[in-house]
Structure 1
Amino acid sequence: MSIQKEFVLRYRVDGHVRFQIPAQVCNVDAAKAVTDGISKIDGVYRAKLYRGQQKLSIRFDEAVCDFKSLARQLFQLLADLEKNGDLNPKPVSKSMLWKEKVKSKLDGFKATRWAKEKFGDAKETVQAAKIITKMGMKKPAAFMKDPEKAIIDFLNDILVIFLIRLHWNNITQHWLVRPFAHRYEWMALFYMFFLLVRSRRQK
């Protein structure tokens, strides 16, 4: 039986699918090869393989890559990996095997997955904050003139970036696709930018 036939679709909604996968794909090297290959598919913005649960989760942009196209490219990827022997486990030391087993168990917990996802969001927000800080340092006169306003403007920028990052998947997957259905969300977004621009006006 080819490896593709052992991938069973367990969940599907617009932009998100989950597969039950065979144990053969759940070794460290195979899992990395599969997720790396899936991540290169146009339209895919997140691919996560839970080795302990033998599950594969893929999030993608339906406007760029529909489900049929995704499935076709996924099966072709699996066929290529199987043909090249990339799904076969490589020998590892006992200590490394133990560490990977523990990591796999931890990844299986919902709390761990949630924490990792939120940590990634926070990390990206911090990176953006560093950029804003550097930009602010180039205008020391504004800070010296009114430090309170400069700090408030800085915090407002961070808040806006965080909110956009938090809702980015919804914006690209749903709000842009069905703008009228999400008109209230768009109104809130535009109003937020209006307040941001208004706060920048010189009194």
Structure 2
Amino acid sequence: MAIQRSFVLRYRENGHVRFQIPSEACDSAAAKALTEKLLELDGVYRVVLYRRQQKLSIRFQETICEFESLVKQLYQILAEIEKTGLFNPKPIAKSRLWKVRAISNKAKPGPLNWFKRKYTDAKDTVHAAKVVGKIGLKKPKAFLNDPEKAVIDFLNDILVLFLIKLHWQHITQQWIVKPFKYRYEWMAIFYMFYLLIRSRKK
């Protein structure tokens, strides 16, 4: 129970909690196991463990998983991981430790990497806008007849592309793997496309 007491609740709002966690939980193997097990819980859709800051952020749907239930399941997961010994990693030899530190320092995200990621995201967004724009320009008569509807259709396409990009990791790694568990998310996707197609037919 010692490891559970080291998890201190620092922030809470509807569907979002953040814990201050001990250094034992920030080891790579322990952090990976904790993140994966939390994502398996019903209602939990995003888990971010900041190893350097020793923080754990969990986003969940309170209609599916209440806060008290989430905390109980978190404590149970911590107990299971503690039994495996992941919170007490074996000491690394000095030569190997030097290599690990070298790799870690090399992989540290710097300002340049941040700008690269933002540039890539912006480029993808612009590319998507161009694709949607080309599709819209194929029907100039529709734009001339009803410019308001044409603009709304264009913005709807951009919104759909943005939502797909935003949830792509969850779709490919969780929703497809466990479709029944994420059935409500799939229902939302199908309904969104239904509304999109329906608006185009009008």
State percent identity of aligned pairs: 40
Aligned to 1:179: none
State the one-letter code of the partner of 1:8.
Answer: V
| TM-score, length basis structure 2 | 0.58
| Alignment pair present for 1:19 and 2:12 | no
2-side partners of 1:73 and 1:115: how far apart? 38
| TM-score, length basis structure 1 | 0.58
Kindly tell me: are residues 37 and 158 of structure 1, through their superposed partners in 2, closer, same or farther at Cα, counting changes over 3 Å?
A: same
1:122-201 to 2 correspondences below 5 Å: 148-149=138-139, 158-162=157-161, 164=163, 197-198=199-200, 200-201=201-202
Indicate the RMSD between aligned Cα atoms, in angstroms: 4.4
Kindly tell me: are residues 65 and 99 of structure 1, through their superposed partners in 2, closer, same or farther at Cα, counting changes over 3 Å?
A: same
Higher relative contact order (CA 8 A, sep 6+): 1
2-side partners of 1:167 and 1:54: how far apart? 25
CA contact (8 A) 2:156 2:196 kept: no
| 1:195 positional shift | 10
| 1:149 positional shift | 2.3
Kindly tell me: are residues 158 and 64 of structure 1, through their superposed partners in 2, closer, same or farther at Cα, counting changes over 3 Å?
A: same
Q: Deviations over 1:2-38 (max 9, x none)?
A: 1000000000000000000001111111111111111
1:1-203 to 2 correspondences below 5 Å: 2-89=2-89, 91=92, 93=96, 94-100=98-104, 103=107, 106=109, 148-149=138-139, 158-162=157-161, 164=163, 197-198=199-200, 200-201=201-202
The runs of 5 or more residues in structure 1 that have no matched partner are: 134-142, 169-189
Kindly tell me: are residues 45 and 72 of structure 1, through their superposed partners in 2, closer, same or farther at Cα, counting changes over 3 Å?
A: same
3-state secondary structure, aligned to 2:139: helix
CA contact (8 A) 1:156 1:196 kept: no
| 1:196 positional shift | 7.1
CA contact (8 A) 1:3 1:78 kept: yes
1-side partners of 2:67 and 2:105: how far apart? 32
CA contact (8 A) 1:7 1:19 kept: yes
| 1:167 positional shift | 9.2
3-state secondary structure, aligned to 1:53: coil
State the one-letter code of the partner of 1:161.
Answer: V
State the one-letter code of the partner of 1:160.
Answer: L
Kindly tell me: are residues 54 and 167 of structure 1, through their superposed partners in 2, closer, same or farther at Cα, counting changes over 3 Å?
A: closer
| 1:79 positional shift | 0.5
| 1:86 positional shift | 2.3
Aligned to 1:187: none
Kindly tell me: are residues 40 and 101 of structure 1, through their superposed partners in 2, closer, same or farther at Cα, counting changes over 3 Å?
A: farther
| 1:160 positional shift | 3.2
The runs of at least 4 aligned residues of structure 1 exceeding 2 Å deviation read: 86-103, 152-158, 162-168, 193-196
CA contact (8 A) 1:30 1:88 kept: no
